[in-house]
């Protein structure tokens, strides 16, 4: 046994011993840039540079895209519905009210270049026109969010008329847009309360997963309180089922459960779970630009038509 081990040790050689360092060839390869470097970073214009509107604006509809539960597709829906409405000839303003700023980065906004964001509108008395970045995509403008917004919840506590800050701001651009979409944070704090007070209607995305309706009851309770005390016209515009996978029984069961709970408020369009929808924000594009003929883009175009039909 010992002789075998000795022979084995004598014949073993290290890969380093076999490697000829002096004659090694160094190969220089092109490095693929990280995803964030591939993003379509937008040149930031001011509201004064906005292209003229080519149609008469009727009544502005302010819709908050809201669900206190995270990961249900709020920002994905806000971005892609806004872009799809724009492609349907509607003037759209997207207000990013989420401190994570996913709607801003998802449309190619480089946050370090932003001069004024929604934080400045809420707390620094900056007019909303001075925070609007126009023509990000056809007929689509945005009020971006930056990391500054993370402290807004605490700072708003001591402000006068704190629940009405956003309502007063967006009121200045009523009549200039067909739709104003508000991408809300996944919470029921003061930022979300501001959205509830400012909005005419709510669009609630619900993912086709286990515990789909978890948290919706709390949201509806908050909506009722705001409706009673601060915004009597507030109501649900529609419920959108997201991340739908027709291959699973669970997705089909969730659709039936949500339809049974909300009835006709549920949109006919089901947003599928697709790789392209997940990839698009990394490139700073809505799905209608990133994969215009794909399943995700088609579904958001269908959703935009449903939204327009509902008025």
**Contact at 8 Å (CB) between 203 and 63?**
yes
Residues 6+ apart with CB under 8 A from 16: none
Distance (Å, rounded) from C-alpha 92 to C-alpha 139?
6
Other CB atoms within a 10 A radius of the CB of residue 164 amount to 17
Q: Cα-flanking dihedrals φ and ψ of residue 182, to 5°? A: -115, 120
Q: How confident is the model at residue 108 (pLDDT cuts 50, 70, 90)?
A: very high
In the chain, which ranges are continuous DSSP H helix?
A: 2-11, 15-18, 74-87, 102-106, 118-123, 152-156, 165-171, 190-198, 216-229, 249-262, 275-279, 287-290, 295-310
Q: In terms of DSSP bridges, do strands 201-207 and 179-183 run parallel, antiparallel, or are they unpaired?
A: unpaired
**Contact at 8 Å (CB) between 194 and 98?**
no
Share of the chain above pLDDT 90, in %: 76
Distance (Å, rounded) from C-alpha 251 to C-alpha 242?
10
Q: Cα-flanking dihedrals φ and ψ of residue 253, to 5°? A: -65, -40
184-197 pLDDT tens trace: 999 889 999 999 99
pLDDT at 38: 52
The mean pLDDT value of the chain amounts to 88
pLDDT at 4: 45
Q: Would you say residue 54 has pLDDT above 80?
A: yes
Q: Would you say residue 20 has pLDDT above 80?
A: no
User: Reduced to 3 states, what is the DSSP secondary structure of residue 279?
Assistant: helix
63-92 pLDDT tens trace: 999 998 888 999 999 999 999 999 999 999
- Write out 94-142 in H/E/C secondary structure: EEECCCCCHHHHHCCCCHHHCCCCHHHHHHCCCCHHHCCEEEEECCEEE
5-18 pLDDT tens trace: 444 444 455 444 55
Residues 6+ apart with CB under 8 A from 259: 266
Q: How confident is the model at residue 37 (pLDDT cuts 50, 70, 90)?
A: low
Q: What is the mean pLDDT of residues 204-216?
A: 86
Distance (Å, rounded) from C-alpha 103 to C-alpha 121?
17
Q: Would you say residue 258 has pLDDT above 50?
A: yes
């Amino acid at each position: 046994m010992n002789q075998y081990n000795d022979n084995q040790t004598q014949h073993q050689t290290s890969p380093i011993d076999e490697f000829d360092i002096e004659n090694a060839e160094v190969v220089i390869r092109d490095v693929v840039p990280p995803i964030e470097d591939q993003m379509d970073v937008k040149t930031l214009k001011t509201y004064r540079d906005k292209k003229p509107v080519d149609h008469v604006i009727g009544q502005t509809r302010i819709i908050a895209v809201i669900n206190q539960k995270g990961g249900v597709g709020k920002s994905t829906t806000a971005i892609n519905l806004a872009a799809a409405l724009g492609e349907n000839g509607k003037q759209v303003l997207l207000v990013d009210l989420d401190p994570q700023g996913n709607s801003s980065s998802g449309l190619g906004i480089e946050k370090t270049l932003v001069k004024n964001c929604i934080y400045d509108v809420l707390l620094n008395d900056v007019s909303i026109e001075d925070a609007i970045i126009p023509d990000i995509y056809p007929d689509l403008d945005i009020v971006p969010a930056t990391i500054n917004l993370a402290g807004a919840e605490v700072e708003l506590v001591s402000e006068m008329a704190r629940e009405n800050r956003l309502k007063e701001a967006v009121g200045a651009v009523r009549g200039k847009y067909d739709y104003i979409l508000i991408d809300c944070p996944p919470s029921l704090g003061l930022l979300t309360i501001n959205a509830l007070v400012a909005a005419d209607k709510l669009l609630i995305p619900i993912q086709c997963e286990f515990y789909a309706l978890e948290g919706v009851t709390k949201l509806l309770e908050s909506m009722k309180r705001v409706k009673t005390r601060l915004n009597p016209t507030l109501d649900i515009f529609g419920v959108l089922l997201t991340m739908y996978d027709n291959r699973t029984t669970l997705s089909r069961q969730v659709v039936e459960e949500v339809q049974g709970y909300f009835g006709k408020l549920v949109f006919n369009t089901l947003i599928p779970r697709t790789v392209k929808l997940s990839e698009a924000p990394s490139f700073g594009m809505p799905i209608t630009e990133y994969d215009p003929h794909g399943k995700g883009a088609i579904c958001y175009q269908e959703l935009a038509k449903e939204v327009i039909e509902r008025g």
